[in-house]
Amino acid sequence: MKKYSNRSVTEGCSFYGNFEADNKSFRLNTSTGYYDLTSGEHYQYLRNRQGSVMAVVDDKGATVQRTGLYPTGTPYILPCDYKADGTNNLTPVTEHLHIGNHWMGYGGLNYYDNTARMHDPVLCEFKSVDEYAFKFPQNNHYVHCSSNFANKIDPLGLWDVTVHVYKDRSEYGYGVAVLTDHKGKELFRFDVRVEGKKETNHNRYLEYGDTPLGVYDIPDKLPWISGKSRVSYGPNHRLNMVGESGEIIETGRSLIRIHGGRQEVYNSKTGKWEENKNPILKRTEGCIRAYDKDIKKMKSITDELQSNDVNEIPGKVIVTDDLIKKEKTPTSDNTQYLVP
């Protein structure tokens, strides 16, 4: 593979939180692009459904970089300064490419820095053993995204939630949400329902339809929201989500959350809410509904994470349709849907 960066190994690059510096510039990285603090200019990322950076535009809307990436992250169009005459000087505007991770093309190295481990997109593997591989003995200990690169991404190393749903929601409208810490360790998993209003007929592109697939950002300053209708959202907070890439952007929809609700009855005589003894997960208007007890537990876990570890900050919610259907067996009358 060609080396496309003029930056040498000795020049390197330093990071402090969202700040990035080399010997040429000093910038502030954001979820949508970056501010070049040296020149005072702002650049916007254009992402694909995986959340990978496919192009960069400046404040005037002019394209200053473009690339093409396979689902694994390997470039098939090298990032370069885009010029009207088709030439380039082989100096990328940004090296944050595959799902926003930092590309290290120095001297033909061609690895991604995925924070926790180095990722080789050509061999489709990590360069060190997964610290929590013992929890998934069925997987290769170096495997990237369970070898399902088109449908999965590896989170950025913050606390994240991955919501696994079934492809045909008319057959099965539920899913499994998995909370992981910044090291990728699973902390909690719980059942969810991802079906919108019945009249939308499972069309995720319609308002109030099923929950769209894609990558959602959890705002650092306001990861949890409270208030409004207790009937709709339940007695607990709801997880704030801002669409970043994939269907959630294509559909133009917003205000998708993970929340509880509709599992209580108001007792007018006592003036108190009472829990249903056998609660069910009812449809939403496009959000992800969980059991009230699970929402309460998830917030408690994330609050404790952030209070005890400065590296733990809100990351992403990834909604992916990779739930596996396990057919009925002679010993079971129930069809199971399993996280791969």
Q: Where are the domains of the chain?
A: 1-153, 155-338
Homologous superfamily (CATH) of 155-338 is L,D-transpeptidase catalytic domain-like (2.40.440.10)
Per DSSP, the residues of 80-146 read: EE--TTS---S--S--B-GGGPEEE-GGG--EEE-SSSEEETTTTEESS--TTGGG-TTS-TTBSGG
User: What tokens were used for 340?
Assistant: 């791969």
Per-residue confidence at 10, pLDDT binned at 50, 70, 90? very low
**pLDDT, greater one: 84 or 63:** 63
Tokens representing residue 128 in the block: 């060190």
pLDDT higher at 143 or 127: 127
User: What are the tens digits of pLDDT across the range 21-67?
Assistant: 876 778 888 878 889 888 888 999 988 877 788 889 988 888 888 88
Residue 310 Cα distances to 30, 162, 183, 219, 313, angstroms? 19, 22, 13, 16, 7
Say what the pTM is.
0.62
